[in-house]
Amino acid sequence: MRRLRKVKIVATLGPASSTYETIRALYDAGADVFRLNMSHGTQEEQRARHTIIRQVEKDVERPIAILADLQGPKLRVGTFANGAEELTEGQAFRLDLTDAPGDATRVTLPHPEIFAALEPGASLLVNDGKIRLKVESCGADYADCIVRVGGTISDRKGVNVPDVVLPLAALSDKDREDLEFACELGVDWLALSFVQRAADVEEGRELVRGRAAIMSKIEKPAAIQAFDEILEASDGIMVARGDLGVELPIQNVPPIQKRMIRKCRAKAKPVIVATQMLESMIESPLPTRAEVSDVATAIYEGADAVMLSAESAAGSYPVEAVRTMDDVAREVEADPNYRQIIAAARTGEKASVADAIVTAAREIAETTDIKAICCFTHSGTTASLVARERPFVSLLALTPLIGTARKLVLSWGLHCVVTDEVDRFKMAVVSAARAARADGFATTEDQIVVTAGVPFNVPGTTNILRVAPCDERLIFKSDPE
């Protein structure tokens, strides 16, 4: 099976999508990557979903990527004696470490690390920003606030602290348990939530020990400030707009999204645009026009992937949501303006032989009648560099390593193929020609571009390019050795 689009679709699994039939239907509708949200469900439920995904992968004979998304440190208020209270603008309200149930004047905030970092004037946002508090005075165990935006506050609502870099460990005890569980399962990507600094990524990488690629979720203002360092330390980025839209002025999010996508592309690292993309499809079989435009914008910007959360995990129309994303992507990518926008945004640090090779591959493919660029890769670096170029021909990533193939599924445009090991470039060309024909990208009458690194099996050695016929008889004839 080959996709008729370049951008990839990530579908979150949950109560509405936990059977083989539904997961297979999601794949058939267009899902390339499945997300296991460790914030919901038990480890055994996630294990069952993982098993089903791998069965679907076996049945469709195509690599499928699995992304495990850690919950991250959750900041929540305590409980109220009456279950909820109504706060009005201008009233005083205290947050403290007292164990007593809350009332209309105070509630427990069981996070001393927040009080240690707060300063007068800081903002506290409760329940996704629906309630806004301003700190008037604070100490090691309290914060006296004024209600700036009132509303109903109830048990265990989440708290955001946008103005402060919190001295929180990036990984809670639950996250550490889930991380080890996910790595033992064999997931391909591990997403770290509420990353604030590059050190958070390095902490996660030490625990992962190379068993999965690291994706940093950008959802805190502090992460925006340290984005370049976080990007350098990460294998990929998720623009998690839900919390960003709470902690930042909402109008700031679109330009931030655009800048992050550009920077990820320049570094040849995949970027996912996530949260609330087709939110109305949780309950409706059709999205709003604004949601369709939102998805289209991310695709026009050159994102590697767009993601569904509750739409596919808990919604009433999970398959329809994936199909809608697929339809939007195919329509956008057929727009002549799409090519112009993508081409105009090509950037990147091109200072190596590998950079020159993949740039040449794109230029050759786009100026001649080439049907596909085929890149042999072990670590995935070569294929990622080719995807960074955003060429308008088909891209095949060929690797003998199933783990590399699965990881690369997330990257823009890559059709991943697991091949036998090769030790000569001629056999790499033959394998590429066979794969291009087998998956419908070319015929024996066509030509392909093949890139690889010689010697083989050495990461980061992309140094050779060949324009070759897609007929191995002609390959052997022209290069009998």
Q: Which of 6, 8, 35, 362 is catalytic?
A: 35
Q: Which of 24, 76, 130, 346 is catalytic?
A: 76
Distances (CA, A) of 232 to 27, 198, 238, 373: 32, 8, 14, 27
Q: Does 407 qualify as catalytic in the annotation?
A: no
Q: What's the rounded Cα separation, in Å, for the pair 144 and 137? A: 5
Q: Which residues of 126-136 are buried (b: 16+ CB within 10 A; e: fewer)?
A: bbebebbbebe
Q: Which residues of 152-172 are buried (b: 16+ CB within 10 A; e: fewer)?
A: ebbeebebbbbbbebebebbb
Q: Which of 275, 324, 359, 462 is catalytic?
A: 275
Helices (H) and strands (E) in the chain, counts: 18, 21
- Cis before residue 336, ω within 30 degrees of 0? no
The size of the chain, in residues, is: 481
Judge whether 235 and 208 are in contact, CB under 8 Å: no
Q: Does 76 qualify as catalytic in the annotation?
A: yes
Q: Does 197 qualify as catalytic in the annotation?
A: no
* Tokens found for residue 251: 């109008």
Secondary structure E strands in 155-212? 159-160, 189-192
Q: What's the rounded Cα separation, in Å, for the pair 134 and 123? A: 5
In degrees rounded to 5, what are phi and psi of residue 114? -70, -45
Q: Does 390 qualify as catalytic in the annotation?
A: no
Q: Which of 5, 6, 132, 217 is catalytic?
A: 217
Q: What's the rounded Cα separation, in Å, for the pair 22 and 56? A: 11
Cβ-based burial of 349 (10 A; exposed 0-12, middle 13-18, buried ≥19): exposed
What are the catalytic residues? 35, 76, 217, 275
